């Protein structure tokens, strides 16, 4: 028995499924979840002290690798002066200014404690602003666990959503439409049919949560024009993509301006955080200025702010993204070459330093295609590489994350391991 196995046995007596977030239970890949004792740079160490190259990166926040000295110093310096006060601090101003610098579409920011909270608040704001109830999300996109976003497509297309989780009421789900990603005609028809009823469309502009899936052609620009012409608020959920590929987001890369942006993960440098932002006119509807109520005990807490400021300032350093994205290209290209050489059907989708190796033929452009991936083969791959000291996301439908702490040496070490295990797939 490993220490992780012992801890998992004990954890299951006290924590639901032995975890505090479902994906950590390794349900879709089998095997025993790791318990991590510490991490440094590109590596994590499990409770038995076994070392792994980490491609989970806490699902996005750890873009500088673990325990980056500048982030550690900022956190230590700040926490010595107090953990949280229930009053404002200078760090909130500094981090808000960095966010606004990176996202010109944002004139005002509100910090919260998670991506879920950011998205939940953004939807409430959009509904208040438009005085409409319906919202549209996309199959395969995940925006946290607020009730109205845990909805799945009904039987017929263009019907109201159905609860995607126990405890979500039919009425709640009925206010949510589910659209296929990368299908602009579907949206044109939907908006015509429900003209004047739809408050917001929320999208992961580059998807991470069905695995990495990119918008095709002018999809995002067409989406923006369509929502504008129908008076629908466009919400970019950039919780995962914010500051991932460049010092900004998909909106700055693709030149598409959403009405509201949600952020999280990287802007907290590994500490709990979320944020939503928009033009002043919209944000001034939020309490204490306006009628949209939203609050939080730990919102804007000084330690998260300090970790976020240190992280974003480090990301501003010249050449940071160029080398991070280049190292990731080395990994993606290396996997593609191995799959071709070994005749394994694989597609490696990439956005900056997030990738997904799909075990399938043909490009993945939406959820129906993502679901065609061979999840059993991914599970086998996952369990072979974890044995060899590579920690990847325990699901085919997640993104892998590379950090600035990953060097070409780490990548080549990874590819050597893949070269071995892929012969067993």
Chain residues that interact with ligand KE4, rule: CB under 6 A: 21, 23, 59, 114-116, 119, 142-144, 204, 208-209, 237, 239-240, 264, 274, 398
CB nearer ligand KE4, residue 59 or residue 148: 59
Q: Which of 265, 321, 350, 378 is catalytic?
A: 265
The nearest distance, CB 117 to ligand KE4, in angstroms, is 7
Q: How many CB atoms lie within 10 A of CB 1?
A: 8
**45 annotated active-site:** no
Between the CA of residue 379 and those of 28, 246, 366, 376, what are the distances in Å? Answer: 7, 31, 21, 5
The alpha carbon of 79 is separated from its chain's Cα centroid by a whole number of angstroms, namely: 27
CB 78 within 8 A of CB 303: yes
Give dist(CA 90, CA 375) in Å, integer: 47
The nearest distance, CB 229 to ligand KE4, in angstroms, is 26
**Buried (b) or exposed (e) across 359-374, using 16+ Cβ within 10 A?**
bbeeebbbbebbeebb
**237 annotated active-site:** yes
Give dist(CA 376, CA 360) in Å, integer: 11
The nearest distance, CB 237 to ligand KE4, in angstroms, is 5
Between the CA of residue 373 and those of 60, 207, 346, 347, 422, what are the distances in Å? Answer: 23, 16, 9, 9, 16
CB nearer ligand KE4, residue 239 or residue 373: 239
CB nearer ligand KE4, residue 209 or residue 353: 209
CB nearer ligand KE4, residue 118 or residue 306: 118
Phi then psi for residue 398, to 5 deg, are -130, 165
CB nearer ligand KE4, residue 24 or residue 221: 24
In the block, residue with structure tokens 């740079």: 41
Q: Which of 55, 59, 129, 142 is catalytic?
A: 142
CB nearer ligand KE4, residue 34 or residue 415: 34
**DSSP, residue by residue, 296-358:** -TTTT-HHHHHHHHHHHHHHTSTTHHHHHHHHHHHHHHHHHHHHHHTT---EEEEETTEEEEE
**265 annotated active-site:** yes
Q: 339: closest CA among 414, 419, 249? A: 419
Residue whose CB is nearest to ligand KE4 in the complex, by number = 115
Give dist(CA 177, CA 320) in Å, integer: 39
CB nearer ligand KE4, residue 109 or residue 415: 109
* Half-sphere exposure (Cβ direction) of 301: Cα atoms closer than 13 Å: 19
CB 402 within 8 A of CB 331: yes
Give dist(CA 299, CA 312) in Å, integer: 19
Give dist(CA 269, CA 312) in Å, integer: 8
The nearest distance, CB 80 to ligand KE4, in angstroms, is 27
Q: Which of 46, 175, 237, 259 is catalytic?
A: 237
The nearest distance, CB 352 to ligand KE4, in angstroms, is 14
Residues serving a catalytic function are 142, 237, 265
């Amino acid at each position: 028995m490993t220490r992780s196995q012992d801890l998992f046995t004990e954890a299951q007596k006290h924590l639901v499924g032995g975890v505090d977030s479902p994906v950590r239970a390794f349900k879709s890949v089998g095997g025993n979840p790791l318990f991590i004792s510490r991490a440094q740079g590109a590596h994590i160490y499990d409770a038995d002290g076994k070392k792994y190259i980490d491609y989970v990166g806490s699902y996005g926040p750890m873009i500088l690798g673990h325990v980056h000295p500048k982030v550690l110093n900022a956190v230590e310096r700040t926490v010595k002066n107090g953990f949280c006060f229930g009053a404002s601090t200078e760090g909130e101003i500094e981090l808000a200014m960095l966010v606004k610098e990176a996202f010109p579409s944002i004139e005002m920011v509100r910090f919260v404690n998670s991506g879920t909270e950011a998205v939940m608040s953004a939807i409430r704001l959009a509904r208040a602003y438009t005085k409409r109830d319906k919202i549209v999300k996309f199959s395969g996109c995940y925006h946290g666990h607020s009730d109205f976003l845990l909805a799945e497509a009904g039987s017929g297309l263009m019907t109201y959503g159905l609860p995607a989780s126990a405890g979500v009421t039919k009425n709640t789900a009925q206010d949510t439409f589910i659209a296929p990603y990368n299908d602009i005609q579907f949206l044109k028809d939907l908006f015509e049919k429900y003209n004047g009823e739809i408050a917001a469309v929320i999208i992961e502009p580059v998807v991470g949560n069905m695995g990495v899936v990119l918008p095709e052609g002018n999809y995002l620009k067409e989406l923006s024009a369509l929502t504008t012409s129908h008076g629908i608020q466009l919400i970019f959920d950039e919780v995962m993509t914010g500051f991932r590929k460049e010092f900004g987001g998909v909106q700055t890369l693709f030149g598409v301006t959403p009405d509201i942006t949600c952020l999280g993960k990287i802007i907290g440098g590994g500490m709990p955080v979320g944020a939503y932002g928009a033009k002043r006119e919209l944000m001034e509807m939020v309490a204490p200025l306006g009628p949209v109520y939203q609050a939080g005990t730990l919102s804007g807490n000084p330690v998260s702010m300090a970790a976020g400021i240190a992280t974003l300032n480090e990301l501003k350093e010249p050449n940071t993204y160029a080398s991070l994205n280049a190292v990731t290209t080395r990994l993606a290209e290396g996997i593609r070459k191995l799959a071709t050489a070994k005749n394994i059907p694989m597609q490696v989708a990439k956005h900056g330093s997030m990738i997904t190796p799909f075990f399938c033929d043909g490009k993945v452009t939406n959820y129906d295609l993502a679901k065609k991936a061979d999840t059993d083969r991914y599970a086998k791959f996952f369990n072979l590489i974890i044995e060899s000291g590579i920690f990847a996301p325990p699901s085919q439908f997640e993104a892998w994350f590379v950090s600035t702490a990953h060097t070409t040496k780490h990548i080549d070490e990874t590819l050597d391991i893949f070269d071995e295990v892929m012969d067993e797939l």
